[in-house]
Amino acid sequence: MIIIYFITFFVTTISVNADEFDSNKFLLDYGYLKGDNASLTDEKAVKDAVKLFQESFHLPVNGELNSKTIAFMREPRCGVPDILPYAVSRIIWRKPELKWHYQRATAEKMKLANIAFDEWAKHTSLSFKHDYYGYNILISDKYGIHTCAKNDKVRCSSRFDGPGGVLAHAFSPNTANTPIEIHIDEEENWNFDPEV
């Protein structure tokens, strides 16, 4: 996915205080625990959720919140849940060339976006070209609870959590093939070095 390439090239150095990390909230947010906060009191449900997380990341599966499991949970990541409460869209882009624009980006960010799209093109049958107005993909920097870039009256369904944790999120193509958005958390400590 495109977001992986943005994360690859927008390298970040992040530190999160261990006291601030809430593993149960993580398990709820990323789909490992079902339901609401009531499931947090069910020891078996929490242990099963930890096992599922460990299995997903090829960790020793024991259901314990050990240091290795928590370290994996604390890794910077995309904000999309690992286990979705809905069916994943199988819709693909209907055209081989996609156009993109990075809203209000600096020259440095535009350069890195070009590198990221070139990398993505190497591994797919798609090609990418920058276009200010006729774009299929709109990238923007956001923070906290935010609106969509194309329509600032529409609140995004995901929120950013400040430095650490969620780095960015993206939306899938849709049946109408209308422009999709990629939101990048501007509160992260981004290091814009394409040589890293």
Q: What is the pLDDT of residues 5-32, one digit of tens each?
A: 444 444 333 333 445 678 888 888 888 8
Share of the chain above pLDDT 70, in %: 82
Single-letter residue type at 196: V
For residues 58 and 116, membership in a common domain is answered with no
Vertex 7 angle, CA 112 and 91, to 5°: 100
Residue 44 belongs to what domain range? Answer: 17-73
Token duo for residue 99: 């156009």
Helix axis angle for 107-122 and 2-9, nearest 10°, is 130
Residue 82 lies in a domain: no
Residue 128 lies in a domain: yes
For residues 93 and 187, membership in a common domain is answered with yes
Asked whether 2 and 102 are in contact (CB, 8 A), the reply is: no
For residues 93 and 47, membership in a common domain is answered with no
- Please give the pLDDT value at position 161: 87
The 8-class DSSP code of residue 117 comes to H
β-sheet bridge partners, residue 129: 99
- Among 75-84, 87-96, 170-179, which is the least confidently predicted range? 87-96
For residues 48 and 97, membership in a common domain is answered with no
Dihedral over Cα of 118, 120, 123, 124: its sign: negative
Q: How far apart are CA 106 and CA 112, in angstroms?
A: 10
Count Cα neighbours of 141 within 13 Å in the Cβ-side half-sphere.
13
Any idea how long the chain is? Answer: 196
Is it the case that residue 98 has pLDDT exceeding 90? Answer: yes
Is it the case that residue 110 has pLDDT exceeding 90? Answer: yes
Range 36-51 average pLDDT: 78
pLDDT in tens, 170-182: 888 877 778 899 9
Q: How far apart are CA 73 and CA 38, in angstroms?
A: 21
CATH number at residue 137: 3.40.390.10
For residues 68 and 96, membership in a common domain is answered with no
For residues 92 and 185, membership in a common domain is answered with yes
